[in-house]
């Protein structure tokens, strides 16, 4: 199974930059989207249906903000929205879909970069998400959790760890949370398969030609419950895709 996760920073904006043609060429079996920034009524279902995908979306209540989606070649056997936390479910932060014995989730962690208020919200999200992720891993067994975590885990995952040590997305508390997450039964697929890969980033600021200079952050992940490690075949960061300030991550997993 080919799984791609992609923060598109507005699905309609990404389509105007050639996203549909790119998806057709990339041929994922499952495409997890974050930050779709569209209502249910305005989501471009027909565009993706014409490419052969079933669309399950979880938009934010606020128009033009946040939201997640799972597009798949086959209809999921079950779909679950949210995590029973109104503050974050109103923002469409997570959608899960079951395909046979496997669950795939698309998740969009809050960003704290716009100010103290948003950083506090991000910490609340981390506090409620971890125990739920551990519960899902226990209950659902074969879980593939994809998305924009808005956190770099290690110094190797960011272009300048020294100057960013006090930046949201690389704070000691956030990185410690990632330690806890990855010690609770989840594996970072890219880092598991490529433990020493450097300058492997998935997001770049729009400022100062950061993408051209590859001054980036690796904040988009495909993670799996540890029992799926033997079935991991490949994971690559698709930096040539330029429909967003992020780029996609692809994993191939033997289902």
Catalytic positions, written as ranges: 148
Find out whether 57 and 68 touch, Cβ atoms under 8 Å.
Answer: yes
Locate 193 and state its tokens: 């398969």
The owner of tokens 């994809």 is 146
What does the alpha-carbon distance between residue 199 and residue 157 come to, in Å, rounded to a whole number? Answer: 7
Q: Which of 251, 243, 250 minimizes the C-alpha distance to 7? A: 243
Contact partners, residue 213, CB within 8 Å, separation at least 6: none
Q: Which of 8, 20, 69 minimizes the C-alpha distance to 43? A: 69
**Longest Cα separation, the chain:** 47
CA atoms within 13 A on the CB side of 69: 27
Per DSSP, what are the bridge partners of residue 237? 249
Contact partners, residue 122, CB within 8 Å, separation at least 6: 109, 110, 111, 112, 150, 168, 174
Locate 203 and state its tokens: 């997001």
The owner of tokens 């999200």 is 125
Per DSSP, what are the bridge partners of residue 58? 68
């Amino acid at each position: 199974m080919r799984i791609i996760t992609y923060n598109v920073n507005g699905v309609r904006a990404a389509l105007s930059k050639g996203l549909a043609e790119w998806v057709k060429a990339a041929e994922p079996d499952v495409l997890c989207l974050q930050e779709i920034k569209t209502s249910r009524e305005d989501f471009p279902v027909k565009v993706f249906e014409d490419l052969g995908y079933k669309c399950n979306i979880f938009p934010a209540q606020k128009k033009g903000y946040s939201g997640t989606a799972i597009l798949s070649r086959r209809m999921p056997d079950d779909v679950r929205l949210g995590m029973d936390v109104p503050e974050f479910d109103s923002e469409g932060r997570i959608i899960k879909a079951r395909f046979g014995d496997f669950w795939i989730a698309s998740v969009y962690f809050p960003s704290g970069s716009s100010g103290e208020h948003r950083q506090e919200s991000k910490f609340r999200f981390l506090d409620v998400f971890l125990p739920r992720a551990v519960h899902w891993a226990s209950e659902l067994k074969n879980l593939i959790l994809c998305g924009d975590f808005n956190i770099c885990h290690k110094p190797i995952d960011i272009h300048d760890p020294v100057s960013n040590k006090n930046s949201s997305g690389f704070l000691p508390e956030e990185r410690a949370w990632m330690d806890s997450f990855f010690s609770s039964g989840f594996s970072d697929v890219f880092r598991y398969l490529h433990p020493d890969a450097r300058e492997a980033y998935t997001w770049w600021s729009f400022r100062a030609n950061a993408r051209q200079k590859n001054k980036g952050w690796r904040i988009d992940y495909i993670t799996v419950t540890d029992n799926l490690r033997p079935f991991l075949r490949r994971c690559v960061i698709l930096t040539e895709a330029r429909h967003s300030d992020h780029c996609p991550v692809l994993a191939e997993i033997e289902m």
